[in-house]
Structure 1
Amino acid sequence: MGGSSDVSRRRFLQNAALSGAAAVSGVGIARRADAEGAGGGAGQAVDPRSTEASGRVMNPIVPDFAGEYGGKVPEFQVPKRPMGKTGLQVSILGMGGFHLGSAAGQKEVTEMVAKALDHGINFFDNAWEYHKGMSEEFVGTALKGKRDQAIVMTKVCTHGRKKDVAMQQLEESLKRLQTDHLDVWQVHEVIYYNDPDKIYAPDGVLEALTAAKQQGKVRFVGFTGHKNPLIHLDMLNRGFAFDTVQMPINAFDPSYRSFEREVLPVAVQKGMAVFSMKSMSGSGEPIVHGALTPTEALSYAMTVPGVSTTISGMDSMEVLDQNLMILANFKPLGEADMNALREHGKQFCDGRYELFKSSLKYDGDLGRQQHQFPTAEEVPA
């Protein structure tokens, strides 16, 4: 294995591996990792055959499998891991709810969910605010008659509001998802420095999490966020007994405001289930620019020790098929390959491929409004 300069030089040569991936899913490879919040055009596609995307990957660190099998997904079962200390077994890849809400419609989502379940994917992410409830409605209908095969997670979107708002949202989520209970209910988008104060305040959302568990409407509870590991640590250090936590994990993260280095060890020590997201940076920017292949991005995230499942955004059957073909060949990466990917990521330590940390792009409008900030669209260019 060459040094990081050799890897970087190879990545600015002919885009052979990326072209192979594009043969499977066309422009869809740009729409991959789960968008935490619906802000700023998450899920927009960039054609990987464009001038900006060309001239990149010739010899990736991890061989790319997305173009294998002649475009036909083989029969196999996605591996499972313990979901923290919950006692549940969760597939190493989960389906992101925001992107399912961006799919062509209910028919496609139903077919995608059925195919995912057939291959052993059993974790389904969502949030009360995704597509104004349509994401939950799509998944609820798709899981009708199959609820017992799935671990269903959605997020409560109070953004600082009180317990009563949270409990009302819970009832709405249960109705949309057509279920009498959630497997996981998480506080959505904890990304502002005063969020822990608001969340831990009396008559706040944590009291709703506790009440929902006591009422049997929720099995496990947690929180999510994508902005700064210090905010996650503040949430964890204040003492509430969270069962789960969701955070960005990718090959660029170790070099910039790292959740993997700072938050993951604390969560693992507490026995929490860790849900990783943004393996491809939210909208696939490093894929279309040739900084990573889809196989490298997913393989890195799924190999990081302590991660229960990697939530990936899939808004079409083509994207699901690509991810399944990567999974069919997946084996956890060795330490040399993991270190090579981290070393490669160091040259991008300015946040260009983690815009959810460095910009407003992935900050949801509802959260910004509740914090009395202008939305991303309202901020002057």
Structure 2
Amino acid sequence: MSLGTEETKAIDIVKRALDLGINYLDTADLYDFGQNEELVGRALKGQRDKVVLATKAGNKWTQGKEGWEWDPSKQHIQSAVKDSLRRLQTDYIDLYQLHGGTIDDPTEETIEAFEELKKEGYIREYGISSIRPNVIKRFVENSSIVSVMMQYSMFDTRPEEWLDYLHENNVSVIARGPLAKGLLSENALNKLQDKFKGKGFLDYSHEELENLLPKLMNVTGEKPLQTTAFHYCLAHHAVAAVIPGASSIEQLEANVHAMNEQAISETQYSTIKELVKQSNYDSHRD
């Protein structure tokens, strides 16, 4: 999502990621009106077999209408996948995800669409990208999803309520936003002052973040703060992958370097749990 639309730069980032051993790429037809898929497809030419390629559907753009329209219908999903395959220049998608969802959706129809695409070989597996507990539970109980993508970081612990449940049901979590919009990256305090300018993040006020970040850095020690952020998310068996964005090769390399550092210890994990807030999703539960 963060690649941008400058073709040479975007393709160079993807190719460098492959060189560094990145083997999971996640895009969506929504990103830059499909251009993101096109760039990923071009970058993967001749290297498609090196990656688990994921994309998403459910948002429909109609020329002449304002904004995207939510459409989880079977007809739309089975049409959208063919457009994504064309843009990605591939004949199959490893992981096809519903890009959102509400409890009022025609879920049976949506699941039927994914199951048929899987049977026909257009997709290998399917999952959802949703933070809504009632939607997640409905898909876990009624479909063969293999993954749920959720925003998850030390500053957004809402998914933790569901990690055991998902793991017990053989559903993996893909953690997006593990760096909390850069607050858990290198130069975190500078990011807080420059990017947030007095504003907080989710359950944290600006002042709370100013107080908390140095304590987290102390837990991290000499390692990059990203290392703690990534491995915190990966500490639970349910989490299969973290997907930080990268808008430059420098950011990409910093993330890979952090990921390759030694995982946090149980003591460090326990210390972090004492420092951060345990949040819950209050809505979309029934």
User: Where do residues 127-276 of structure 1 align in structure 2 (5 Å cutoff)?
Assistant: 127-158=28-59, 159-190=70-101, 195-201=102-108, 204-226=109-131, 228-237=132-141, 239-254=142-157, 258-260=158-160, 262-276=161-175
Looking at structure 2, the residues matched to 322 and 167 of structure 1 have their Cα atoms a distance apart, in angstroms, of: 38
What runs of 5+ residues in structure 2 fail to find an aligned partner? 60-69, 193-209, 217-224
TM-score, normalising length: structure 2: 0.76
* 1:251 CA drift (Å): 1.4
For 2:263, the aligned partner's letter is P
Match of 1:284 in 2: 182
* 1:350 CA drift (Å): 7.5
Looking at structure 1, the residues matched to 135 and 268 of structure 2 have their Cα atoms a distance apart, in angstroms, of: 30
For 1:225, the aligned partner's letter is S
* 1:241 CA drift (Å): 1.5
* 1:222 CA drift (Å): 0.7
* 1:252 CA drift (Å): 2.9
| Deviations 1:211-252 (CA, angstroms, capped at 9, x unpaired) | 1101100000110113x4344234323x21112221222113
* 1:107 CA drift (Å): 1.3
The 1:230/1:336 distance shift into structure 2, 3 A limit, reads farther
Is the 2:227–2:263 contact (alpha carbons within 8 Å) kept by the matching residues of 1? no
* 1:299 CA drift (Å): 2.6
Q: Which stretch of structure 1 is more off in the superposition, 266-275 or 284-293?
A: 284-293
For 1:223, the aligned partner's letter is I
Which runs of at least 4 in structure 1 moved beyond 4 Å after TM superposition?
none
Query: Which of residues 226, 243, 249 in structure 2 aligns to 1:311?
Result: 243
Is the 2:171–2:238 contact (alpha carbons within 8 Å) kept by the matching residues of 1? no
Match of 1:77 in 2: none
Looking at structure 1, the residues matched to 267 and 26 of structure 2 have their Cα atoms a distance apart, in angstroms, of: 31
For 1:209, the aligned partner's letter is F
Is the 2:28–2:55 contact (alpha carbons within 8 Å) kept by the matching residues of 1? yes
Q: Which stretch of structure 1 is more off in the superposition, 290-299 or 242-251?
A: 290-299
Match of 2:207 in 1: none
Looking at structure 2, the residues matched to 115 and 199 of structure 1 have their Cα atoms a distance apart, in angstroms, of: 41
The share of aligned pairs that are identical, in percent, is: 28
The 1:221/1:247 distance shift into structure 2, 3 A limit, reads same
Matched residue SS, 2:174? strand
Aligned length: 238
Looking at structure 2, the residues matched to 229 and 284 of structure 1 have their Cα atoms a distance apart, in angstroms, of: 26
Query: Which of residues 260, 271, 276 in structure 2 aligns to 1:345?
Result: 276
Tell me whether 1:320 sits opposite 2:231 in the alignment. no
Looking at structure 2, the residues matched to 108 and 324 of structure 1 have their Cα atoms a distance apart, in angstroms, of: 18
Matched residue SS, 1:116? helix
TM-score, normalising length: structure 1: 0.58
What runs of 5+ residues in structure 1 fail to find an aligned partner? 1-97, 352-356, 359-381
For 2:111, the aligned partner's letter is L
Is the 1:160–1:199 contact (alpha carbons within 8 Å) kept by the matching residues of 2? no
Is the 1:196–1:235 contact (alpha carbons within 8 Å) kept by the matching residues of 2? no
Is the 1:127–1:157 contact (alpha carbons within 8 Å) kept by the matching residues of 2? no
* 1:311 CA drift (Å): 1.0
